[in-house]
Structure 1
Amino acid sequence: MYAIIDLETTGGQPANDRITELAIFVHDGQQVVDSYSTLVNPGRAIPPFITQLTGITNDMVADAPRFHEVARKVVEMTEGCVFVAHNVRFDYSFLKKEFADLGYNYSRKTLCTVRLSRSLIPGQPSYSLGKLCQNIGIPLSGRHRAAGDAEATAILFDRLLKITQESDAAEANAADALARVDALAPAGRKPDAAEKKPSPRRVAAMAQAIKTALLPPLITPEKVAALPQETGVYYFHNEAGEVIY
């Protein structure tokens, strides 16, 4: 099961900003089987440039539920699901922070449709959700609104799943054909290495999955998910806590 999620927020920093809207589409590997969306009262003013981007105003969220009022729904709908989002670090880190503020450790396996798209649909001029959907013919209405973006991501995810399933089926058919050839071949004959080589698309997807999993032992996926999306400044401190670089 997969939970395809999109959030709208008051800004780009989970430590300082809050969720203003969320949408969840649950996918069973074949189709969307459930969905949910709601505005969320962030408990603070929405900056004008965010309102200009999303269309979400302070008046729209004034009577909306606070996050703690929808938290149980989020947990229940994503329980046992892989957390899927376009640029998953952004959405996952915001939800983790909201739950952490409630004293709850929210943890799910994650899958990024940006990374998956780069592996399975290479050569696109842009992998932003809007431009990617436009280039591959996915309808996207309500851009920068949670329900519209989540629905488009669900359609994209469905296409990516079909690509992997078709690749798996092709490889299975090829393996079956090779097995039948081997059965007719002279004893001791082994297939050439080239015959066993997986498709480039499969290799790329596997390499990306391996790369995602290879983190240093002291760096957890949660720490990586909490990293800011923007460039910044880092400091080196000595044992006394003094900045040395």
Structure 2
Amino acid sequence: MPEIIALDIETTGLDSQNDSIIEIGAVKFNENRVIAEFSKLINPRKPINSFITNLTGISNSMVMNAPFIADVLPEIQDFVGDSIILGQNIDFDLSFFKKFGAFRENLTIDTYELASVLMPSASRYNLGSLSLQLNVVLTNAHRALDDAKATMQVYQQLIKKIEELPIDLVAEILRLSKGLNWQGELPFRWSLKALGARGIQPKRILDENEELFFNLEKAPRSKGLQPNPHFETLDC
């Protein structure tokens, strides 16, 4: 399995075009092994309001002497490289980087989208709720590195759920997700490949581009009920 970067940011607000990053946290890992961590406070060049400070614990005084995003971008880009990026609602986080041209080509995995398929009866799908339901300890919620660590552990628990699924269900989920730009696809493909390496195959065929299709040949049609030519009359 390739290296993955669990990425999380804290921001001055929800608008990626007008708000700014105030903290970046990232964890580089491979399966269950943590390789490296990244954590930086960022000076947003604007005041942090009291709501964000109460939510994150990050105050204006904490970022006053922190580097600007332009100074940190080369560092986080070097840390991430072309690795797959994992996140909870990852499109939100990446929107704050993509406006600077960063991480536009990286493949992504979203724990929110994975959990919505693997945990259909979950009460909520935010990071705190998923952590609680999957027995992941989330300390210092809304601090970027701690959230990134929790996202990694939530992902690892979701992978276990994929591994428990019948192979035909894994393949069917992939078939149904074809063309949807679903950010839960990669772990399902890896699971299918791992099972195939063990000689376990679903009822499927592959086209010349190695895309997944199913052999949808119809089962033989039943002849239905037929009269018995050797019937006997009932006694009256």
TM-score, normalising length: structure 1: 0.68
| Rounded Cα–Cα distance in structure 1 between residues aligned with 2:37 and 2:80 | 11
| Alpha-carbon contact 1:85-1:113 (below 8 Å) kept | yes
Structure 1 residues 109 and 129, CA gap change in structure 2 (3 angstroms): same
Residue 135 of structure 1 aligns to which amino acid in structure 2? Answer: Q
Name the counterpart of 2:195. none
Superposition TM-score, scaled by structure 2 size: 0.70
Tell me, in whole angstroms, the C-alpha distance in 2 between the residues paired with 1:207 and 1:52: 42
Q: By percentage of residues, which structure has more helix?
A: 1
- Corresponding residue for residue 139 of structure 1: 137
| Structure of larger gyration radius | 2
Measure how far apart 1:162 and its partner are. Answer: 3.0
Q: 1:53: how far off?
A: 1.2
Q: Which residue identity lines up with residue 91 of structure 1 in the other structure?
A: D
Amino acid at match of 2:16: P
User: Shift of residue 132 of structure 1?
Assistant: 1.5
Identify unmatched segments of 5+ residues in structure 2.
Answer: 183-236
Aligned equivalents of 1:71, 1:208: Cα separation in 2? 33
* Residue number in structure 2 paired with 1:95: 97
Tell me what 1:212 maps to: 181
Secondary structure, aligned partner of 1:43: coil
Query: What amino acid sits opposite 2:118 in the alignment?
Result: L
Q: Which 4+ runs in 1 deviate beyond 4 A?
A: none
Deviation, structure 1 residue 31: 2.4
Q: Could you list the per-position Cα deviations for residues 41-93 of structure 1 after superposition, in whole angstroms to 9, with x for gaps in the alignment?
A: 11111122111111110000011111122211211121121111100110011
* 1:79-130 Cα shifts (integer Å, max 9, x gaps): 1211111001100111112x24xxx674311211100111122210000111
Task: Give the secondary-structure state (helix, strand or coil) at the position aligned to 2:86.
Answer: strand
Mapped to 2, the partners of 1:75 and 1:105 lie a distance apart of: 8
Q: 1:154 to 1:11 in 2, by over 3 A?
A: same
Find the partner of 2:108 among 110, 133, 144. Answer: 110
Deviation at 1:211, TM superposition (A): 1.8
What do you get for the CA RMSD once the two structures are aligned?
2.1
| Structure 1 residues 37 and 105, CA gap change in structure 2 (3 angstroms) | closer
> Can you give the 5+ residue segments of structure 1 that lack an aligned partner in the other structure?
172-197, 214-245
Percent of paired sites with the same residue: 31
